[in-house]
Structure 1
């Protein structure tokens, strides 16, 4: 089966990636071009009908993820790592008259350069180095192309360097305009080839995963204060909507009762139905017409029994919402939902030793610790309030404060200040995670 790879890349770099199609018969490339990596979040939202995203480097990958479009497509990027820097230092040594005596370098991570220097046994004590480690580690130095440009320009104009090695296209173009000797980081062919191979491997896994058995459960919930008379009509309409969805996605529908239906299909059919787990299937205007909400739970598994058990977990979570919603539980017991613009995901189980250790010390369930970990990873900065957490977990503020109290007692969370968003009322404590 053909693996469709969306390549997010600058125009001049695209041929170096797509040239590898001849080595992978099962891959079809579609290039999506950008001029500035900061555009990649919006660019990814335009991508349709692909299995894997392949980014030309860590910067476009980072900015695409910052947008949090909700697409759950697997992604890979061509690294700018120790191997890349080792190749570039060798190139300068052999081909540039300036040599390596006085170099100004930017790199995603300073440790990459340190390892490359160690490989060459070089003296880098006179070099000027800056990094933007936030895009790799989620913490550390923030990426700012203007700051990197000024860093190199000042180093050259002050005489601290006689050559610039940059990993940022924009910085390279600006330095060239000023006549400053510079090299745009050379991307090794080996790194491109290995990234394409990784995309192909992930695509093959996705195709096999798409054959997993999937079960969906849909249930009608009567809104408070409404009579029971609307349910039969609501059930008929829901059945018709599900049958239409079934035709579009090659899934079968059966009625379990007046207000509940079961759907059988494959993971691929559910991905199609939910647009890669980014939205709940369209249920028309049932809430307005009949005074009901619709809860849906989808489950994947290697057997129908396992998939149905996961679907019931998803339905349980959906029914706890105050509006129509859908949750999905994967074969790996990852819970995704409510499906929509603000998708959240956490695991019911975990093999992460750190999370298991936190759960053991705090007495919290691994699901709660996993949710808390996902909440922290979603935030751009490691600062939050009990209100932020309660809204994410959809718990009362008191329940969120109880969770935080247990985390604070074991030093996994600490209070770092207060905020007062309103003139009246008590200030809110601001917390920071230490895990």
Structure 2
């Protein structure tokens, strides 16, 4: 099966990408050359169907982050590494007497260049270094190299930006481009292909949705038909609710549809999803997710996957909630405290997210989205089983009782 990769980079980078992969018959490259990296977002609006996206570097990738959020294919960028910098320095040394103090260079990560200097034991020789930030100004970078040449006619500029190279050539400033190394490129193209295959595997997994039947009957038919259309799903009416059989990929696509977003907001607490190895597993997981939403504060809809991890679909970056305990240590905690796997998962996430190891009942209540009294009952169960300690008190007001301060005493990582 062939993998189609969209390449975003300078015209020269795109040409080199074609050269590097001319023996790779399993790859199809779609080229999107730009003059400057800031053109990438506009080029993305012309993106044709593809399996993955590869950017020539971090600058075009960062400029495109907002648009990439709505594109359901993996996107990565070619990182500037020590091999690229070392190869470039070697190439320059073949044409010039290489003295680092007679060099101005722009790099995407200053630390990578410092690693090269340390490895080659540069003995205190230092070039002028410009680190490319997300919001760098093209003219400022051109002036950086031009000024170095004006102050030192022996200076050689080395740039990572093709547009800067063209401008410096016009100004008769001695300049070299960073060299794209074939081995680094092929490693990155292999990685993006693997991510594309993984995503295809994930998106093709069976999934089911379930809509509770508590909404008015008149609206139920129209709502279910609309959801089935948006989810590309087969719709079945049952006693438990209305079932939608679809795939994870169809759900992910629907999440970016404003019409689905609006409908999901109206159905808060009544729409949930599940995935699994079989239709039965997916249906059972969807029903479990719906029951969880109806008993817990919800920012849903949720999806319960085959690992029994509960995901908030509109907040994909958040940590999933574990609804099944398989680690022996956590199983022991669940048995001794009578706390559910979901609560233990939230407690672990709570511990990981805090800068300090200590907390109050109010801190825990805020994280769990429950009342302080409920949080205190959870803490009491942990204290009674020695899975939490009281480590002090805090007095935030002049009057009233001081608040107890606690620490967790079970593995959270």
What band does the TM-score fall into relative to the shorter chain?
Answer: 0.5 to 0.7
1:151 matched to which residue of 2?
144
1:27-426 aligned at under 5 Å gives the runs 27-67=27-67, 69-97=69-97, 99-123=99-123, 125-132=125-132, 143-159=136-152, 162-219=155-212, 222=215, 231-245=216-230, 249=232, 251-257=233-239, 260-272=241-253, 274=254, 277-279=255-257, 282=260, 295-304=270-279, 307-308=282-283, 310-312=285-287, 315=290, 326-328=301-303, 333=309, 335-338=311-314, 344-348=316-320, 365-367=347-349
- Contact 2:101–2:125 under 8 Å retained in 1: no
Contact 1:104 1:155 in 2 (8 A): yes
Which runs of 5 or more residues in structure 2 are unaligned?
323-344, 356-365, 373-390, 392-413
Q: Identify the residue that residue 334 of structure 2 maps to in structure 1.
A: none
Decide whether aligned partners of structure 1 residues 370 and 20 sit closer, same or farther in structure 2, where only a CA change above 3 A counts: farther
Give distance in 1, aligned partners of 2:353 and 2:43.
Answer: 29
Cα gap change, 1:366/1:125 in structure 2, threshold over 3 Å: closer, same or farther?
same
User: 1:189-215 deviations in whole A, cap 9, x for unaligned?
Assistant: 112222221122222222322332212
Contact 2:297 2:369 survives alignment (8 Å): no
> Residues 22 and 282 (structure 1 numbering): CA distance in 2 closer, same or farther, change over 3 Å?
same
User: Partners in 2 of 1:106 and 1:57 — Cα distance?
Assistant: 13
How large is the Cα RMSD of the aligned pairs? 4.2
* In structure 2, distance between residues paired with 1:317 and 1:175: 62
Shift of 1:253: 2.2
Which sits farther off after the overlay, 296-305 or 26-35? 296-305
| Equivalence for 1:386 | none
Structure 1 residues 368 and 51, CA gap change in structure 2 (3 angstroms): farther
1:378 counterpart residue number: none
Instruction: State the 1:162 CA deviation.
Output: 0.8
Partners in 2 of 1:163 and 1:112 — Cα distance? 20
Of stretches 303-312 and 104-113 in structure 1, the one that deviates more from structure 2 is: 303-312
Kept after mapping to 2: 8 A contact 1:216/1:262: yes
Query: Which has the larger Rg?
Result: 2
Determine the C-alpha separation between the residues in 1 that align with 2:54 and 2:176.
24
Please report how far the alpha carbon of residue 255 of structure 1 lies from its aligned counterpart in structure 2 after TM superposition: 1.5
Q: Deviations over 1:86-139 (max 9, x none)?
A: 10011111123565451111111112112222333334524111213x55xxxx
Structure 1 stretches of 4+ moved >6 Å: 283-287, 291-294, 316-323, 369-373, 393-396
Counterpart in 1 of 2:333?
none
Decide whether aligned partners of structure 1 residues 94 and 316 sit closer, same or farther in structure 2, where only a CA change above 3 A counts: farther
Aligned length: 343
Look up the SS of the partner of 2:318 in the other structure: strand
